[in-house]
Chains A and B, each alone.
Chain A
């Protein structure tokens, strides 16, 4: 049974709804720029403001990005329609949101978590974002009781895709993995910058608990989760809250709950019975969206290699474990192709992975350091011409200068390559200086090797390669 951190016998069941803003130049139904951070109410037009007589025209690039998301999530692209979701709110200019309802563009997909768990994707549909309200005065930042409110319509009409998972998530960690992996896919296919902190990716969690083997429990929808870390904490809190209620004889009410980062709890936002009747009906101002097979295949063919496959490829290339942090980090940064270049330039991919993970955090997916220079460094290191410590110093100089010949830099720093015969000499001296440690090591006490290596390194003034020293010691004991 999977460890979900909950009391014995309880199963966690989570479904995730993720909204992402698409990286289009213009809005979903008008030509205004889709740009974050501009002066309020500058990216507006009659359609965005819902002026009388204005009509929506579907942005074809948004459709293409939405299809990329669907296809990357193994969905089927289907003929789809748009509906109106009617409700009154000041930042909803038309008093209805245009959204896909019972006929979404992408259906029946899945996402594989890095650990191999399969999370079903029910749908990934298109819709428009609302404007953004800011409330002043009163309590709690809500419109009710505030003195006044300001609305910024720059965000109104920004294209969104909502990705709805099946309730297949069983632990908070899986939820975090799901969102991280989804974000990696969205960035990889160029559909969104998927930044939770800027709101271009927003995540709601439907959380319920049940005894193993029982029917699905009543779920609560958790909103206002602003980071992957908070998502995990919110799910853990909510699951324990529900278990507490159930174990003390209570029942769970279906409701929307608000995650409060400051007190680390979820709070009732509104009960199901208070839910709006959205009076959905087919949007008469738009026609059916039915991408033809040729378009779908063109989008599918143009999809880049997805993060999961890139991790596998990088693991094979470097010899590292596929689920290691180094592989995850480097692929997330998009630096895996750089490591391939290092390898193609004759470098050591394994060493390159280590250096890129450690030192390339600020470099992005096209590091300034020419791949052939890093390749040369890894070769010096592999051949024992430089120790790891020396290599790190040389790399620092190379990164600062944006390139350079590592052998020349090493020479200028007096990092003389120590010949194995010279190291053998230091090993002799070290064994002589530490006879007790040598005896223990020969008797099979591996820990004793540390003292020997330390002494030998000191004797060589740090110039000996630790790995070579270790190899010589092992050789002498076994030989």
Chain B
């Protein structure tokens, strides 16, 4: 764990009056002013709003009012979550300058919990990428080594926490976009069960896979933030109609008697330093009283292929609305079709265009069955494999990322190499399951390595128990 204050301690101190929200905010804004130019975690820093909110909170505390569970906690939001009156760009030129007239459900929940919002973080354009190099506004750098990428697509949110710009942040995870940057930046990252956190106001990439989740320095912070943002939302039809789970309370319970799955047929590709840390994690859990069991997930090797049909297919439809007609940038042309074409040609970057083409093709008449239809079948197979595995294991451990953070440009020439970054994270999204990455030591170049904990639907309790044990053993 880093030396920065945790959200848990900040909220405690601010609520008890031991520390003012204003001083917490200044401390974080100070770090932003020192390092943001170098790191570029943010598309927008909302200093004025943060100071105003902190002052208001301090005044309420002085009046003896009750405050929320995130009182005074500086938080950064990935710039694909709608914030009323504040630009939301998805790091795309096509949405540059657009101000949503409404807040995402998670934003309202954070405000209700008295969090202090410090800015909107950089991402791969429309969350498509694994290094944040695909941002239209320039890449984010890994705060631990600025010659390296922070991972992606929520690279800005991961870097903001790792650099101490915010105590916690929110990202979105469609195929690993929270967990992989968390691993590469040495912080905790959680992708909750699909439907646990409302997607209302999250700009869609691939609707059946997208899920919002937290970045934090500690497992306890991640549990706290998950509790705050989870719960049924009538504005999201895919939201699970259940109250938010209680997670902070399970953290000290240990893993005695738990069954930890080791994937016997894990797809190849992980570096030796990463696998070494995974082995160490199994040993640590065994020491803590868990049993290691072998599980098989034979369809896992098809997950990446299925994902790169399903996600682009949904994206091709989700991103069709950026047509220049109602909002965002428009390139004027002599007729309707040219306006569409010129607007989208100028507004989208290469990776977004690549995935729109791929997805459009996969859904086209004559190709649907061979591509999209087959990918849906693979998705079902993966769910079935997981169901069988979870009959014998409570959680499964894998690497989060096959490598530690890599240097800029290392994977930009060949999109397929970049796609392989998500080989261990993607299956979870296809199954709709929760998973999280916990920092567990370092590998090459002294860069952090993350271990990924996978759990079945609504298995967050077991997942967090394991995470807490790994955290203390790291």
Contacts and interface: CB of A to CB of B under 8 A. Distances in A.
Interface in A178-214: none
A344 B15 CA distance: 76
A143 to B, nearest CB: 6
Given A50-B321, A53-B201, A95-B321, A284 B207 contact: yes
A51 B320 contact: no
A51 B237 contact: no
A285 interface: yes
Contact of A57 (B206, B235, B313, B316): B235
Contacts of A144: 335-336
Contacts of A51: 82, 100-102, 327
Nearest to B210: A284
B362 to A, nearest CB: 9
Contacts of A285: 204, 207, 237-238
A49 B317 contact: no
Given A279-B363, A279-B364, A93 B314 contact: no
B372 interface: yes
B372 A281 contact: yes
B340 interface: yes
Contact of B234 (A57, A86, A95, A96): A57
B336 A143 contact: yes
Interface in A33-61: 46, 49-58
Contacts of A305: none
A287 B100 contact: no
Contacts of B90: 52
Contacts of B372: 281
Contact of A94 (B88, B321, B364): B321
Contacts of B335: 144
A88 B90 CA distance: 22
A84 B319 CA distance: 13
The DSSP consensus for interface residues of chain B is loop
Contacts of B323: 88, 90, 95
B283 interface: no
Nearest to A31: B235
Contacts of A280: 363
Interface in B311-364: 313-314, 316-317, 320-321, 323, 325-327, 335-336, 340, 360, 363-364
B236 A55 contact: yes
Given A55-B237, A88-B323, A284 B208 contact: yes
B391 interface: no
A324 B22 CA distance: 83
Contacts of A56: 237
Interface string A399-424: 00000000000000000000000000
Interface string A143-177: 11000000100000000000000000000000000
Interface residues of B, number: 43
Interface string B390-406: 00000000000000000
A53 B98 CA distance: 13
A90 B317 contact: no
A292 interface: no
A84 B320 CA distance: 12
A143 B336 CA distance: 8
Interface string B65-94: 000000000000000011000001010000
B325 A287 contact: no
A281 B204 contact: no
Nearest to B126: A52
B202 interface: yes
B320 A95 contact: yes
Contacts of B104: 53
A96 B322 CA distance: 12
A286 B335 CA distance: 34
Query: Which of A84, A95, A143 neighbours the largest number of chain B CB atoms within 10 Å of its CB?
Result: A95
A281 B340 contact: no
B370 to A, nearest CB: 14
Contacts of A277: 364-365
Nearest to B201: A53
A53 B100 contact: yes
Contacts of B202: 53
A279 B360 contact: yes
B378 to A, nearest CB: 16
Interface string B360-382: 10011100100010000000000
Given A53-B204, A277-B365, A286-B237, 10 more contacts: A49-B326, A53-B203, A93-B326, A96-B317, A144-B336, A279-B360, A281-B372, A284-B238, A284-B314, A287-B238
20 contacts: A50-B321, A51-B82, A51-B101, A52-B90, A52-B98, A52-B321, A53-B82, A53-B201, A57-B235, A84-B317, A86-B316, A90-B325, A94-B320, A96-B317, A144-B335, A151-B325, A279-B363, A285-B238, A286-B238, A287-B237
The 3 A-B residue pairs whose C-beta atoms are closest, nearest first, are A95-B320, A284-B208, A279-B363
